[in-house]
Structure 1
């Protein structure tokens, strides 16, 4: 067998057949069945596992999902896709596309913020714009909690302007730009100490170059995750529709 799995789901496959078609080892196939990634295999009278083409499609779907959202989330999603309705499955998969698009937009905005910082550093007599955001507005724009912004403030990553006796926070353009970069770096898995180092060095050429490399690497990773999800599309559809079919007599 090679290429996409077609034909009747009544075809019986051995564990080695499923492993060969899916690219997983024999033990991985058994482990992923145990974890609920694929439906339980039928058993022959002699106790051997008997798989069907849907098991190969489920494993391929898992590979793509794992590349897009990570193995733990992929296992959870596939288990849900096999038991939910088509509408619920479509909503779940669409949610992954939306999150990837948001992450990409977030990283692009961080790159734009970095370019603005560089432009300020190289423009004599640059006059700051007067735009500012409240902590609620900035948190909403970044998709984080206000408590996260307060924590970043405590860690010296983003410094707001305090403008009232009630200590209400307002963030000017420099802080907004720094916050976008911090958001992208944190989403990339950078720890607080590493993010602080990048933020502190943003006004040095080498620091800005480091930040640019990180953000571009993140964009490449998001693109790879998106492609992995697209590749899983047909197999994910097969898993979802199979779950809605009545059991064979």
Structure 2
């Protein structure tokens, strides 16, 4: 559902007004103010909170950010956007779009790896020695640390080959494909035991279908988060620019 526009109005908004127009409860509005997510409200002569359209933009921006990156990150980011320079604020928001695009690419790579695993299981795939990676190369490709790959190995998720006298790890195509699937599932929040079960069943029809379903759900969630961030865009811009508008006479 599209967001209704924030209409200019005469006089300040009460807590109930801000709650109704932002979709939060009055207590949530007060809590978000207490946490510093929205600017402090001014007080009327009788002590009641007085909100402005800027507060409504901040409340809506928080909703979109929370859906895109989680409430903890959103609570941290919004106060920073209000005090950052314009360049810093623009860079921070752009980084969120880049992060979501990266997550989408990882999930798509995992889907491609799953198709290759399926072809491999049917005997139609072949690996080339030149496609192997070192632990440093694979970590860079997955945007994780080499220690993460070692941890996956310790947990029985990934099995590299060691080919040098120094026992250096080397990953062939089957291990690279599995690593991409592991990275996507871990990024989706699946714990090690669940990922271990999925990886263990990858070469069976049921395991392949379940993994395909999980990766599809992962892509759907990333798309929903991307849309939430796009919908928050105009409110985020209003929050950023509100702190930079010259004071009115």
Give TM-score scaled by structure 1 length.
Answer: 0.95
Give the corresponding residue for 1:107.
107
Q: 3-state SS of the aligned residue for 1:244?
A: coil
SS at match of 2:133: strand
Match of 1:234 in 2: 234
| 4+ runs deviating over 3 angstroms | 246-249
Equivalenced residues, count = 246
Provide the rounded CA distance (Å) in 2 between the counterparts of 1:226 and 1:173: 31
Partner of 1:128: 127
Unaligned runs of 5+ in 2: none
Say if 2:15 and 2:26, in contact at 8 Å, map to a contact too. Answer: yes
- Alpha-carbon separation, structure 2, partners of 1:151 and 1:132: 20
Asked whether 1:3 is paired with 2:4, we answer: yes
Structure 2 counterpart of 1:168: 168
Whether the aligned pair in 2 keeps the contact of 1:11 and 1:53 (CA below 8 Å) is no
1:75-94: per-residue Cα shift (whole Å, max 9, x none)?
A: 11101011111111111100
2:98 corresponds in structure 1 to: 98
Contact 1:66 1:74 in 2 (8 A): yes
Secondary structure (helix, strand or coil) at the match of 2:243 reads helix
Asked whether the 8 Å contact 2:127–2:172 carries over to 1, the reply is no
Distance in 1 between residues matched to 2:248 and 2:71, nearest whole Å? 31
* 1:49 equivalenced with 2:62 (yes/no): no
Q: Which residue of 2 aligns with 1:31?
A: 31
* Whole-angstrom distance in 1 between the partners of 2:147 and 2:67: 31
| Cα-to-partner distance string for 1:38-77 (whole Å, 9 max, x where unaligned) | 1000111111111111111110010000000001100111
Q: Equivalent residue of 1:36, what SS?
A: coil
Q: Following the alignment from structure 2 to structure 1, what is the Cα–Cα distance between the partners of residues 189 and 215?
A: 12
Q: Determine the C-alpha separation between the residues in 2 that align with 1:215 and 1:243.
A: 41
How far apart are the structure 2 equivalents of 1:123 and 1:169? 26
2:212 maps to what in 1?
212
| Distance (whole Å) between structure 2 residues aligned to residue 104 and residue 78 of structure 1 | 24
Which residue does the alignment assign to 1:76?
Answer: 76
Shift of 1:246: 3.4
Contact kept in structure 1, 2:107 and 2:219, CA below 8 Å: yes
C-alpha deviation, 1:121, in angstroms: 1.1
Shift of 1:129: 1.9
Q: Using the alignment, how far apart are the partners of 1:218 and 1:103 within structure 2? A: 9
Gaps of 5+ in 1: none
Relative to the length of structure 2, the TM-score reads 0.95
CA RMSD of aligned residues (A): 1.4
Offset, 1:31: 0.3
Offset at 1:6? 4.2
- Stretch of structure 1 that moved more, 239-248 or 32-41: 239-248
Per-residue deviation, 1:120: 1.1
The C-alpha deviation readout for 1:159-205, integer Å capped at 9, x for no partner, is 11101111111100000000000000101111111101000100000
Aligned to 1:119: 119
DSSP 3-state at the match of 2:234: helix
